[in-house]
């Protein structure tokens, strides 16, 4: 037998040893579960392209939050599905205090004072054009959009959001939102900016869930490339995130997740704030579809995907698989 001073396999010989030397762990409380909210009560609508995820009326959201809390997941991001007849080209319903987003936020806040709630700031659920900003003459307007986003963020904060999360990628919106929050006395509201959000094909199922894809009409851009980032760019993500931090962001997000691990790593290495990664709808749907075909084991592939995001540097992960992950965690660790 040869003498080998180095045998890395020594540290892999059984589960307890592997547990001792494991470099990264992901606790369920680092997860944020995105929830699609609809009007009505007792409503649970499946989403064809997002197997295992449903649109929920507010009472059903309560049930999911109960389950989540019992599993150690206590952060939720709300996305309202707005009826088509309430959508306009200026997305005005985004600043309706009694609209679905603010109503759901208030109801959940009142019922669950201890959970953390994320309010999404962008116009796409409210835009008849399917864009995150106001469209005019074939362009998505920046500064006019920022004004309405700042108001939307304030309303969500006043309705009970601990965290507002601008997912729109307009320039300067973090500064405008921070100023609006400060001047209205909402100094403690956290801003989690979608700082490096790429123009990705992996958002398809999300747009199905909200019926929010850009529409095919003369004068409406068909894609979001004039505001979301080019997938070919990495350094630009550092610039985007640095600007957001300067303007007052507390957490910066990279989105999508797995195809952009290098970006997660870069931001986590260079910036002084927590980095979040969004394991987006298309990534989640790929796991489900591959599992349905017998190509991968869903649970193992989910665990691997999420820990890879953490290894790259994410401290927070948004995923539709949060409850599945937490169930596995509970099974393996015997507690939440």
User: Does the protein bind ligand PBG through residue 280 (CB under 6 A)?
Assistant: yes
User: Does the protein bind ligand PBG through residue 36 (CB under 6 A)?
Assistant: no
Give whichever of 36 and 112 is closer to ligand PBG, judged by the CB atom: 36
Largest CA-CA distance found in the chain, in angstroms, rounded: 77
User: Is 224 assigned a catalytic role?
Assistant: no
User: Does the protein bind ligand PBG through residue 128 (CB under 6 A)?
Assistant: no
Work out whether strand 75-80 and strand 116-121 pair parallel, antiparallel, or are unpaired: parallel
The closest alpha carbon to 90, from 136, 156, 121, belongs to 136
User: Does the protein bind ligand PBG through residue 206 (CB under 6 A)?
Assistant: yes
Whole-number Å distance between alpha carbons of 234 and 230: 9
Give whichever of 50 and 310 is closer to ligand PBG, judged by the CB atom: 50
Q: For residue 17, give the 3-state DSSP assignment.
A: helix
Region of 140-148, 201-209, 305-313, 325-333 interacting with ligand PBG (CB under 6 A):
201-209
Whole-number Å distance between alpha carbons of 282 and 279: 8
Handedness of CA 303, 306, 312, 314 (dihedral sign): negative
User: Does the protein bind ligand PBG through residue 57 (CB under 6 A)?
Assistant: no
Give whichever of 245 and 318 is closer to ligand PBG, judged by the CB atom: 318
User: Does the protein bind ligand PBG through residue 253 (CB under 6 A)?
Assistant: no
User: Does the protein bind ligand PBG through residue 240 (CB under 6 A)?
Assistant: no
Choosing from 78, 93, 108, 122, the residue that interacts with ligand PBG (CB under 6 A) is 122
- Smallest gap from residue 193 Cβ to ligand PBG (A): 12
The closest alpha carbon to 198, from 139, 282, 80, 120, belongs to 282
Choosing from 60, 281, 303, 305, the residue that interacts with ligand PBG (CB under 6 A) is 281
- C-beta of residue 76 within 8 angstroms of C-beta of residue 116: yes
- Smallest gap from residue 285 Cβ to ligand PBG (A): 9
Binding mask 79-118 for ligand PBG (x = CB under 6 A): ----------------------------------------
**Structure token digits, residue 25:** 């762990």
Cα–Cα distances (Å) from 23 to 15, 18, 308, in that order, read 14, 10, 11
Choosing from 36, 87, 93, 124, the residue that interacts with ligand PBG (CB under 6 A) is 124
What does residue 193 show for φ and ψ, rounded to 5 degrees? -90, 135
Give whichever of 198 and 298 is closer to ligand PBG, judged by the CB atom: 198
- C-beta of residue 57 within 8 angstroms of C-beta of residue 42: yes
The size of the chain, in residues, is 336
User: Does the protein bind ligand PBG through residue 132 (CB under 6 A)?
Assistant: yes
Count the Cβ atoms, other than its own, within 10 Å of residue 330.
15
Catalytic residue among 81, 87, 197, 224: 197
Q: What is the DSSP letter of 156?
A: H
Catalytic residue among 81, 87, 224, 255: 255
Annotated catalytic residues are 197, 255
Binding site for ligand PBG (CB under 6 A): 122, 124, 132, 167-168, 203, 206-207, 224, 280-281
């Amino acid at each position: 037998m040869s003498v080998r001073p180095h045998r890395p396999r020594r540290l892999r010989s059984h589960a307890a040893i592997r547990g001792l030397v494991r470099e990264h762990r992901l606790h369920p409380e680092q997860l944020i579960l995105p929830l699609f909210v609809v009007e009505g009560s007792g409503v649970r609508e499946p989403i064809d392209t997002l197997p295992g995820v449903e649109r929920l009326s507010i009472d059903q959201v309560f049930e999911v939050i109960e389950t989540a809390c019992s599993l150690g997941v206590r952060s939720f991001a709300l996305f309202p599905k707005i009826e088509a007849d309430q959508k306009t080209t200026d997305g005005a319903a985004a600043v309706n205090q009694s609209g679905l987003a603010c109503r759901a936020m208030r109801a959940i806040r009142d019922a669950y004072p201890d959970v953390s709630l994320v309010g999404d700031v962008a116009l796409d659920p409210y835009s008849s054009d399917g864009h995150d900003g106001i469209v005019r003459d074939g362009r998505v307007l920046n500064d006019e959009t920022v004004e309405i986003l700042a108001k939307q963020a304030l309303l969500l904060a006043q309705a009970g959001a601990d965290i507002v999360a601008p997912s729109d990628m307009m320039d300067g919106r973090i500064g405008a939102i921070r100023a609006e929050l400060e001047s209205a006395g909402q100094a403690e509201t956290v801003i989690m900016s979608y700082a490096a959000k790429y123009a990705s094909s992996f958002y398809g199922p999300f747009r199905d869930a909200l019926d929010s894809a850009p529409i095919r009409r003369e004068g409406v851009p068909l894609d979001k490339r004039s505001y979301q980032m080019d997938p070919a760019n990495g350094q630009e993500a550092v610039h985007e995130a640095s600007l957001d931090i300067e303007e007052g962001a507390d957490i910066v997000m990279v989105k999508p997740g797995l195809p952009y691990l290098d970006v997660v790593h870069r931001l986590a290495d260079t910036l002084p704030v927590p980095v979040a990664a969004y394991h987006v709808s298309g990534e989640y749907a790929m796991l489900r579809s591959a599992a349905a075909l017998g190509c991968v084991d869903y649970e193992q592939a989910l665990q691997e995907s999420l820990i890879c995001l953490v290894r790259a540097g994410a401290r927070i992960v948004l995923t539709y698989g949060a409850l599945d992950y937490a169930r596995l965690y509970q099974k393996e660790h015997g507690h939440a």
